[in-house]
Amino acid sequence: MNSKLITTLLMIFVLSACSKEPDQNMSKQTDRPTVTAQFEQSDEMISKYLDQLDDPNTTLDDKKRIVCVDYPKEYKTNYMPSLLKLNPENYTQAKLLSDLDIALSYYKEKENIQCP
């Protein structure tokens, strides 16, 4: 009697454990279009910021706001997490933060911007 009960419980456990794996994979597949859309939207926003920084008609106050607040916030909260989800084998958080620092340093030096 005990062996039948143990065997039955073991089979239920194995079957339930196997059935959860595809659900997790399906969730990752359904998340990808959402993450791709988030990445594209963030990439567009960052391109807009870069265009403004390169535009000679953009005021220094606007450039300072972009370099010190807007660009880093967009990059860290949207762009970087989306890119890491979409392409984790090619990017690391450390590499992306280094790239951000290089870009910000360039504009700070070019425009003589000091962030608080």
pLDDT tens digits, residue range 58-109?
Answer: 999 999 999 999 999 999 999 999 999 999 999 999 999 999 999 999 999 9
Record the pTM: 0.72
| Residue ranges per structural domain of the chain | 31-111
DSSP for residue 24: H
User: In the structure encoding, which two tokens stand for residue 98, read together?
Assistant: 């280094």
How far is it, in rounded angstroms, from Cα 60 to Cα 95?
A: 29
How far apart are the C-alpha atoms of 43 and 81, rounded to whole Å?
Answer: 12
- The alpha carbon dihedral of 45, 47, 50, 51 has a sign of negative
